[in-house]
């Protein structure tokens, strides 16, 4: 359970130790941010706090373009202590709902889809499809911002059924087309390496490059500037990009 006063004190000091452990939703702007967001601290009465980006997204808020919630460290509390929830979230990270239905996911977990939905709402406060919607949006945003992949390739990699749906999702979340979020003068380059940055909290100390073998391709995680890590993917097919990034993060932060 989040303590609102504790959370507000953390965003007032932009505490990096709290990065990824909760997200701040600003009612006046309808934007949600990381605790380290450089924007001016909002008034206490204008904010609500959520344990996950997916919960803030499901509540109708959109991701901040300055602090980039898609790069935030994962929260151990988000996975919860229930083994079935933890496994379900890992499967969703690996694209289970991009490739199949909630019923298919529930079947893999040995339960009914109704029971799975009930567990998600009870323990996380939202449905599996809400988690999947945020996963797709964050993966797409990550690839738009950090890579030079063509937008059609990004739509495919993130699990959108069509470019039209991809554009609609971005328009709903950011009020603009995906192309406007690209860095100035950045053009698609199929030969450019696929690399994304992620943040880590101060208690994590990078020890150097980490090599991650994948079912398809290879990932290397290297320390970057500040509290950032760079995940570079080699020979990873587009449909596997999301699960490759998730596997690299698990390898670094959770030992595989």
Distance, CA of 232 to CA of 250 (rounded, Å): 15
What angle (nearest 5°) sits at the alpha carbon of residue 137, between those of residues 134 and 141? Answer: 135
Exactly one of 10, 36, 64, 97 is catalytic; name it: 64
Q: How far is CA 17 from CA 14, 86, 221, in A?
A: 9, 23, 21
Is residue 230 annotated as a catalytic residue, yes or no?
no
Environment class of 129 (CB within 10 Å of its CB; exposed 0-12, middle 13-18, buried 19+)? middle
Exactly one of 18, 21, 31, 33 is catalytic; name it: 33
Is residue 64 annotated as a catalytic residue, yes or no?
yes
What tokens does 78 get?
Answer: 């988000």
Is residue 33 annotated as a catalytic residue, yes or no?
yes
Exactly one of 10, 11, 21, 37 is catalytic; name it: 37
Exactly one of 21, 67, 196, 245 is catalytic; name it: 67
Helix axes of 83-93 and 241-253: crossing angle, nearest 10 degrees:
130
Catalytic site positions? 33, 37, 64, 67
């Amino acid at each position: 359970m989040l303590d609102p006063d504790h959370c507000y004190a953390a965003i007032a000091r932009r505490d990096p130790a709290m990065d990824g452990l909760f997200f701040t939703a600003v009612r006046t702007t309808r934007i949600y941010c990381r605790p380290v967001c450089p924007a001016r601290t909002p008034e206490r009465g204008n904010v609500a706090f959520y344990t996950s980006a997916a919960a803030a997204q499901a509540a109708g808020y959109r991701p901040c373009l300055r602090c980039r919630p898609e790069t935030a460290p994962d929260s151990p509390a988000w996975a919860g202590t229930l083994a079935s929830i933890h496994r379900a979230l890992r499967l969703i990270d690996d694209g289970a709902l991009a490739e199949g239905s909630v019923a298919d996911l529930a079947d893999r977990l040995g339960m009914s889809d109704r029971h799975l939905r009930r567990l998600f709402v009870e323990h996380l406060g939202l449905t599996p499809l809400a988690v999947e919607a945020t996963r797709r949006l964050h993966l797409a945003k990550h690839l738009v911002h950090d890579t030079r992949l063509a937008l059609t390739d990004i739509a495919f990699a993130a699990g959108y059924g069509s470019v039209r749906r991809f554009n609609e999702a971005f328009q709903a979340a950011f009020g603009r087309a995906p192309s406007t979020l690209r860095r100035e003068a950045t053009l698609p380059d199929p030969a450019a390496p696929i690399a994304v940055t992620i943040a880590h909290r101060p208690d994590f100390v990078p020890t150097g490059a980490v090599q991650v073998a994948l079912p398809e391709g290879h990932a290397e995680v290297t320390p970057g500037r500040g509290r950032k890590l760079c995940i570079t993917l080699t020979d990873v097919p587009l449909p596997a990009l999301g699960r490759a990034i998730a596997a690299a993060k698990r390898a670094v932060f959770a030992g595989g």
